[in-house]
């Protein structure tokens, strides 16, 4: 492999002309021939036993060229990038220029990390919200526990909003029952909006044993097309009316729903946790505002290819999370009514912000000559091993150490920005 030329182009791109010689190419062709000969039928020879020259004579001397190039060019490209010490930040555009028995030449147009001119990044000021927790906030934190401990009790009165009614119903369109419109013993919380608009309102005031015909119109966007926008009549009978009986808020309640012996201790814990969440959220907002200033203060021309690459990474990571839940990403896109192109387009805004932040932090790392020690790397690997419940050696094998060190250096750069900043009261 030989790099014939390196030429800087506009918008942070570099054009590499790389030559792969006869000896390397011939070895790759022979490798491809041995791999593929079992699939090629040649009259007069048993399958897989035809000599290479015979196959080339039948199909042309370049029959194995494309596959041989595909065998060689990724490693040749990677070697050229390392040799020229290029900081590539996007997929390359590769074009084969010449190919023959003496080898081949390809042109790789690569996007490299653009030059960043930093502005002010230390001693910044940004607003930071003061966090407080009120008695009302604590009461709201209690609501999920209260709801889980709430019982439904049968009552002999007219149904009200918030009650749960047990009903039998059957729906009719033009006097005929329709599929999926019938149920018995169905529990419906009035006011929940779970049924067709207007249905629950007309059940209000009914008591156990009451029967009523309810007139509704299905929404225009209803899932069953034959019912969308159509009027219907439901015959409804109420079997039972139930109201919510909330638990008494006392020490016994606290013991039932938490590890605390008293209600006061439970509420104090909820308040502490809520305050911590709010403080963390306020800190994230403060840090984001600081990074926005750092980005606004720097000068850089960001290549669009860099944003596209980051958008691809974001979508690919999201796709892995979706498929880990047992659904293919194609199915997910269909359910969402989106194409892959639309998903990537949506990801571009987040991708651009990520690229801007990475470029700014990388420039700070260079400006401050930030480094991480072997001890710091060991400590990070130990932390990751504990977090993911893995052996440290397994974590080392799974990681690219250079990438880990870059991430750690960027975290140091971010900490430098945050630690030298001043928090101002939020107006």
Instruction: Examine the domain organization and report whether 386 and 272 are in the same domain.
Output: yes
Share the mean pLDDT of the chain.
Answer: 94
Domain boundary residue, one of 245, 276, 304: 245
CA count, 13 A, side-chain hemisphere, 50: 21
On whether residue 250 sits in a domain, the answer given is no
Instruction: Examine the domain organization and report whether 271 and 416 are in the same domain.
Output: yes
Instruction: Examine the domain organization and report whether 67 and 200 are in the same domain.
Output: no
pLDDT, tens digit, for every residue of 282-300? 999 999 999 999 999 999 9
**Which pLDDT score is estimated for 394?**
93
**Which pLDDT score is estimated for 38?**
85
Ranking 101-110, 238-247, 332-341, 382-391 by mean pLDDT, the lowest is 332-341
For residue 44, is pLDDT > 90?
no
Q: Mark 197-233 as b/e (b = at least 16 C-beta within 10 Å).
A: eebbebbeebebebeeebebebeeeeeeeebeebebb
Mean pLDDT score, 115-124:
97
* Residue corresponding to tokens 């991708």: 351
Angle ∠(367,369,375) on CA atoms, nearest 5: 150
Q: Specify the long-range contacts of residues 130-139, CB closer than 8 Å, at least 24 apart.
A: 130/282, 130/425, 130/426, 131/275, 131/278, 131/279, 131/282, 132/275, 133/271, 133/274, 133/275, 133/278, 137/271, 137/274, 138/267, 138/270, 138/271, 138/274
For residue 272, is pLDDT > 90?
yes
CA count, 13 A, side-chain hemisphere, 104: 24
On whether residue 117 sits in a domain, the answer given is no
Instruction: Examine the domain organization and report whether 288 and 415 are in the same domain.
Output: yes
Please give the tally of structural domains in the chain.
3
Mean pLDDT score, 49-66:
90
Q: Is 361 helix (H, G, I), strand (E, B) or coil?
A: helix
Mean pLDDT score, 150-178:
96
Confidence band, pLDDT 50/70/90 cuts, at residue 211: very high
Instruction: Examine the domain organization and report whether 273 and 416 are in the same domain.
Output: yes
**Which pLDDT score is estimated for 425?**
82
pLDDT, tens digit, for every residue of 393-411? 999 999 999 999 999 999 9
**Which pLDDT score is estimated for 18?**
97
Residue 239 sits in a domain whose CATH number is 3.10.50.40
What distances in angstroms separate CA 372 from CA 330, 365, 378, 413, one per listed residue?
A: 41, 11, 10, 11
On whether residue 275 sits in a domain, the answer given is yes
Instruction: Examine the domain organization and report whether 62 and 187 are in the same domain.
Output: no
**Which pLDDT score is estimated for 390?**
92
Under 8 Å between Cβ of 286 and 417: no
On whether residue 134 sits in a domain, the answer given is no
Residue 297 sits in a domain whose CATH number is 1.10.3120.10
On whether residue 126 sits in a domain, the answer given is no
Mean pLDDT score, 97-118:
95
Confidence band, pLDDT 50/70/90 cuts, at residue 336: confident
**Which pLDDT score is estimated for 71?**
93
Under 8 Å between Cβ of 121 and 417: yes
Residue 21 sits in a domain whose CATH number is 3.30.70.1050
Q: Which distant-in-sequence residues (6+ apart) come within 8 Å of 345 by Cβ?
A: 311
Under 8 Å between Cβ of 374 and 342: no
Confidence band, pLDDT 50/70/90 cuts, at residue 363: very high
Confidence band, pLDDT 50/70/90 cuts, at residue 254: very high
**Which pLDDT score is estimated for 421?**
97
Under 8 Å between Cβ of 72 and 57: no
Under 8 Å between Cβ of 293 and 424: no
On whether residue 118 sits in a domain, the answer given is no
Instruction: Examine the domain organization and report whether 285 and 397 are in the same domain.
Output: yes
Ranking 299-313, 328-342, 358-372 by mean pLDDT, the lowest is 328-342
Using CA atoms, how far apart are residues 274 and 139, in angstroms rounded to an integer?
Answer: 11
- Domain, as residue range, for 167: 151-245
Helices (H), 84-161: 135-148
Mean pLDDT score, 338-353:
93
On whether residue 314 sits in a domain, the answer given is yes
Instruction: Examine the domain organization and report whether 56 and 187 are in the same domain.
Output: no
Using CA atoms, how far apart are residues 33 and 66, in angstroms rounded to an integer?
Answer: 12
Instruction: Examine the domain organization and report whether 239 and 268 are in the same domain.
Output: no
For residue 152, is pLDDT > 80?
yes
On whether residue 257 sits in a domain, the answer given is no
Confidence band, pLDDT 50/70/90 cuts, at residue 356: very high
DSSP state of 237: E
**Which pLDDT score is estimated for 335?**
83
Instruction: Examine the domain organization and report whether 279 and 391 are in the same domain.
Output: yes
Instruction: Examine the domain organization and report whether 161 and 290 are in the same domain.
Output: no
Instruction: Examine the domain organization and report whether 51 and 101 are in the same domain.
Output: yes
For residue 426, is pLDDT > 80?
no
Mean pLDDT score, 179-200:
93
pLDDT, tens digit, for every residue of 165-184? 999 999 999 999 998 899 99
Using CA atoms, how far apart are residues 261 and 249, in angstroms rounded to an integer?
Answer: 13
């Amino acid at each position: 492999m030989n790099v014939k030329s390196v030429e800087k182009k506009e918008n942070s791109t570099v054009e590499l002309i790389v030559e792969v010689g006869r000896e390397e190419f011939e070895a790759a062709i022979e490798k491809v021939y041995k791999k593929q000969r079992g699939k090629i039928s040649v009259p007069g020879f048993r399958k897989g036993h035809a000599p290479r020259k015979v196959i080339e004579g039948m199909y042309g001397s370049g029959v194995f060229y494309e596959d041989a190039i595909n065998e060689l060019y990724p490693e040749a490209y990677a070697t050229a990038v390392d040799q020229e010490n290029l900081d590539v930040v996007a997929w390359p555009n590769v074009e084969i220029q010449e190919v023959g028995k003496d080898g081949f030449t390809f042109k790789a147009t690569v996007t490299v990390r653009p030059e960043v001119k930093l502005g002010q990044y230390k001693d910044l000021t940004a607003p930071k919200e003061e966090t407080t927790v009120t008695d009302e906030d604590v009461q709201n934190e209690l609501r999920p526990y209260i709801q889980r401990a709430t019982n439904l009790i049968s009552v002999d009165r007219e149904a009200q909003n918030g009650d749960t009614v047990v009903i039998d119903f059957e729906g009719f369109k033009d006097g005929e029952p329709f599929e999926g419109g019938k149920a018995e013993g169905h529990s419906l919380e009035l006011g929940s909006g779970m049924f067709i608009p207007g249905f629950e309102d007309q059940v209000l005031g009914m008591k156990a044993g009451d029967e009523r015909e309810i007139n509704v119109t299905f929404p225009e966007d209803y899932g069953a097309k034959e019912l969308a926008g159509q009027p219907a009549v439901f015959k409804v009978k109420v079997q039972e009316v139930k109201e919510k009986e909330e638990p008494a808020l006392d020490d016994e309640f606290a013991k039932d729903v938490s590890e605390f012996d008293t209600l006061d201790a439970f509420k104090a814990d909820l308040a502490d946790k809520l305050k911590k969440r709010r403080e963390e959220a306020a800190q994230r907002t403060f840090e984001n505002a600081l990074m926005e200033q750092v980005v606004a203060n720097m000068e850089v021309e960001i290549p669009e290819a860099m944003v596209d690459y980051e958008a691809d990474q974001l979508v690919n990571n999201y796709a892995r999370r979706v498929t880990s839940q047992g659904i293919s990403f194609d199915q997910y896109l269909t359910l969402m009514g989106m194409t892959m192109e639309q998903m990537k387009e949506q990801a571009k805004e987040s991708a651009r912000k990520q690229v801007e932040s990475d470029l700014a932090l990388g420039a700070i790392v260079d400006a401050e000559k930030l480094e991480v020690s072997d001890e710091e790397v060991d400590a990070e690997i130990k932390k990751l091993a504990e977090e993911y419940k893995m052996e440290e050696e397994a974590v080392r094998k799974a990681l690219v150490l250079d990438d880990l060190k870059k991430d750690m250096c960027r975290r140091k750069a971010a900490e430098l920005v945050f630690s030298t900043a001043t928090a101002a009261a939020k107006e």
